[in-house]
Structure 1
């Protein structure tokens, strides 16, 4: 038996009943768990309606490490409603009454529906260069999950500023440009309609960023760059073309849409209240053109015929000067001076373009003329030609030849074609004689590429009489051919050389006269090299006249 002494028992009882002395410093503070901020993508709260099926998709895209700018829905709503009315006024001035782009608005028409999408990445994942793809991947994913909020093919995506430059005032941010039918712009605290028209530093900064938004919106609704005519530059009701440098003048000095711009917008999906389908497949081309300089009128006079699978609402003409070898085409066409005309009947056009409206008329500045068919489904199809000024007078050598019919023509043989790698019907040799300059043959590049020289023999079906050959480079000049030969034959055995010369690296039909009229059945075309130095070749069309 174990025995405990009394004193020992008392000691144990005291020990077990004693309390620790607690000091304030020893208290462990409670752990406060802050719940994560949940940012949910979605449209503006409230009821919004529109009078049409197709509307501008307005998206506010916020990277993971960036906060939305305060009052952005109010500020951007006021700016977009102002812009909507500005486009309406410009369209009215061009003869298209009450036409502008659609927006979802609230009942009082003081707010527009903005879809806020919170990005999955930090701002570094959406840089200026290349960031548009990452943004649109998430925008497209949102619309795939919420298809009712995508009401057209046109998107305006606005991102809050990421920071400021070293001056402490100039915003920096993500993508700010147009790609296809989507455009990007930037929001910052001073993006406020109260700054419209101000000429102080805040007003000037606002003009650049808001003007940039409207300019890029132009790209997102199908407008390329172009500039005002000489006389429009001093017209107090016109001034600066939006799609030239109007991003720096809108709201401060006269800024306008050119007639060519308005013709494109007239058939734009979100400028119309009908419910038909827009931007579907269609074809169109200029089948013949007559180009002369009328010295009495001091004007370039164009007339011609076109073929189109859809009705054509307007013909527009872009004269794009290659100033100081800057190049031509997208982002090099700011200084393209433009005209617009309506169709004559269902297949003809006519326009006079006074050379007094051209800024550049020196011998060193070649031009590309783009004649565009504006189809009623919103498509715009271009046929391109080249010309130049000599001593202030335009030299126009692209008047159409009367080409031989290609009925009965076949491809007898070819050294190479890309049968599957190009979008159908492109790639195959037979599209060289399909009378469509928008299709193209391409040398083989899949499963073992073919090298220069590339050759194609055309059987005309019977002996034909011709004075020359016409060739058209692939549109856009991708894989364009430089040096080539033309040979002819009666029997597809013995060939006689006729031409050994070079194409220009230009769009449009190029004519090459034979030394004399020839009669033959077989035409051999040999491509010897290309402008890009690779082994690949492409060509749109071969014809005879």
Structure 2
């Protein structure tokens, strides 16, 4: 296609920063340059590359040339990493004129000064103005993925550039341009080269986030052969030493909208879940072995496994997952998975708890997640989350509850439907507050080995007392527990088999610190 050169540049971004959002609209103007350039791409959808300039700044010298060369290098780097992981001729789409080594950059002059586009709170203002531009120029937006580069605002005393947003935010990512962001500095180890590696590596890292990639790190065995995972700390090594995309990264990119030349709809809603999982440690293989089944109304291409350690109580999840070590496997048939994860590839094998995030990578680019808790004891994994054969819920009823919301009643926790659940009463003031409880009547005396629970995605209960009774009047304490907020069915074994008819979950606190309580399903099992 033939276009007027409006701007330049697509990017990736650093992993040192966090994400935010907020919308504000404003008029925007594209800076038109005088040269006609022919930009083409073999892809039907391409990265939206935006150079966004606050109204009290200007573009930096040679930004189109510098950023074009770096973006073409990045496109090829990703292509080579995809090939290494078994995906030939796959990389992100980007409009370019290869005869002059330029990529299409949409340069937009903002309506506000740089103080309104700060790192901490300016991303929403930038997004709003870019969206306004795309609304006025709909053919300029060719995909759901947008890389925004802003010129640096200033230099610190040591020469380090400083500026606006620099992080991933959904399918948007932000990065910083400065005069030394030049391919001539790639691979240098002097002061300028080290600075370049941090900022360019950061750009590519954040681009990874904008292309749907979470953090993860290299396996122990990959340190010597492959080096540093880009989505861990590649912002300090890219261009200087081995820096790579993991197999999990490439499996997710393989189904990315701008990595595929087709017309299908990407990132649509779907229904999928893991229906059974078996987890065991094989002493013979010295590995964690996982297998199971899933159901999905959209094809699953890969299954990826993120093992995220909570080292020194750092937490797990977004921005606390840099040290998650990962594996990938292909779907077996249409509904099964299997993987072996050697424990020699785990860096942390102390008593730190782990969260296993098992993700189904669907053909439409959507990734769905199930999470499971485990830990290492004496350097060996203790895995207690395998699916249990629960007893039938026929004849069960709700004997009592502290409160319920009419749209999320207590009976939902025994309806065999994981998509429904109970929520404490909140719509009528005053809302019910802790403690909250539900008592289940099994209909007859049973001797059981443990219970299962699916905690809420929101308002998840945290600290609970588990009580049991034979008559529904006199209750004994079975245990005091903390129910992790994982979004998957969790198993809790009794210290010894218990005989009871009535079972009470007494919730005393929530994970979000608020007064509301919610969980989805409760069951029991016999070994």
Q: TM-score by structure 2 length?
A: 0.86
| CA distance in structure 1 between the partners assigned to 2:323 and 2:485 by the alignment | 18
* Post-superposition CA distance 1:55-83 (Å, at most 9, x none): 11111111111111122122111111111
Q: Does the CA contact (< 8 Å) of 1:418 and 1:446 recur in 2?
A: yes
**TM-superposed deviation, 1:467:** 4.1
Q: Does 1:41 align with 2:16?
A: no
In the alignment, the residues of structure 2 paired with residue 76 and residue 361 of structure 1 have an alpha-carbon distance, to the nearest angstrom, of: 42
Gaps in structure 1 of 5+ consecutive residues: 1-37, 421-426
Match of 1:501 in 2: 480
* 1:455 matched residue in structure 2: 437
Indicate yes or no: 2:87 matched with 1:96.
Answer: yes
Match in the other structure for 1:221: 211
Once the two structures are TM-superposed, the CA of residue 131 in structure 1 deviates from its matched residue by 1.6
1:301 aligns with 2:289: yes
Which structure 2 residue ranges, 5 or more long, are not aligned? 1-26
Q: 1:527 aligns with which of 496, 501, 507?
A: 507
Partner of 1:511: 491
Partner of 1:55: 46
Name the CA shift for 1:431/1:115 in 2 (closer, same or farther; >3 Å): farther
Whether the aligned pair in 2 keeps the contact of 1:467 and 1:518 (CA below 8 Å) is: no
Shift of 1:387: 1.5
Q: How many residues align?
A: 494
> Are 1:503 and 1:510, in contact at CA under 8 Å, matched by a contact in 2?
no
Q: Distance in 2 between matches of 1:223 and 1:321?
A: 18
Please say if residues 43 and 114 of structure 1, whose CA atoms lie closer than 8 Å, have aligned partners that are also in contact.
no
The match for 1:234 is: 224
Q: Deviations over 1:391-415 (max 9, x none)?
A: 2111112222112466897878754
Is residue 2:241 matched to residue 1:260? no
Matched residue, 2:180: 190
Residue 440 (structure 1) shift? 5.7
Highest Rg: 1 or 2?
1
- Residue 158 in structure 1 maps to residue 149 in structure 2: yes
Q: Please state how far the C-alpha of 1:543 moved relative to its aligned partner.
A: 2.6
SS at 1:184's partner residue?
Answer: strand
Aligned to 2:123: 132
Deviation for aligned residue 1:113: 1.3
Instruction: Give the direction of change, closer, same or farther, for the CA distance of 1:108–1:531 in structure 2 (3 Å limit).
Output: same
Residues 461 and 509, structure 2, Cα contact 8 Å, conserved in 1: no
Aligned to 2:517: 537
Which runs of structure 2 are paired with 1:193-208 in the superposition (5 Å)?
193-208=183-198
Q: Distance in 2 between matches of 1:330 and 1:481?
A: 20
For 2:395 and 2:265, locate their aligned partners in 1 and report how far apart those are by CA, in whole Å. 36
How far, CA to CA, are the matches of 2:260 and 2:100 in structure 1? 19
Q: Deviations over 1:297-356 (max 9, x none)?
A: 111111112222211111111111111111111111111111111112221111111111
Q: Does 1:391 align with 2:341?
A: no
Show the counterpart of 1:179.
Answer: 169
Task: Decide whether the 8 Å contact of 2:350 with 2:379 is kept in 1.
Answer: yes
Alignment check: 8 A CA contact 2:395 2:443 kept? yes
Which segment drifts farther, 257-266 or 449-458?
449-458
Alignment partners' CA distance in 2, 1:142 and 1:410:
57
- Could you say what secondary structure the match of 2:78 adopts? helix
SS of match in other structure, 2:37: coil
CA deviations on 1:71-128 (whole Å, 9 max, x unpaired) are: 2122111111111111010000000110011111236372211111211211111111
1:292 aligns with 2:277: no
Please give the secondary structure, in 2, of the residue aligned with 1:70.
coil
**TM-score for the superposition, normalised by structure 1:** 0.83
2:462 maps to 481
Q: Deviations over 1:213-247 (max 9, x none)?
A: 00000011111111101111000xx2110001111
- Contact map agreement 1:482 1:505 (CA 8 A) in 2: no
Structure 2 vs 1, CA of residues 418 and 55 (structure 1 numbering), >3 Å: closer, same or farther?
A: farther
- Equivalent pair of 1:433/1:541 in contact (CA under 8 Å): yes
Change (3 A) 1:208 1:455: same
Return closer, same or farther for 1:538/1:335 CA change in 2, 3 Å cut-off.
same
Give distance in 2, aligned partners of 1:505 and 1:431.
20
Report if the CA contact (8 A) 1:285-1:437 is conserved: no
Residue in 2 that maps onto 1:81: 72
C-alpha separation between the residues in 1 aligned to 2:353 and 2:319?
17
Tell me, in whole angstroms, the C-alpha distance in 2 between the residues paired with 1:265 and 1:87: 10
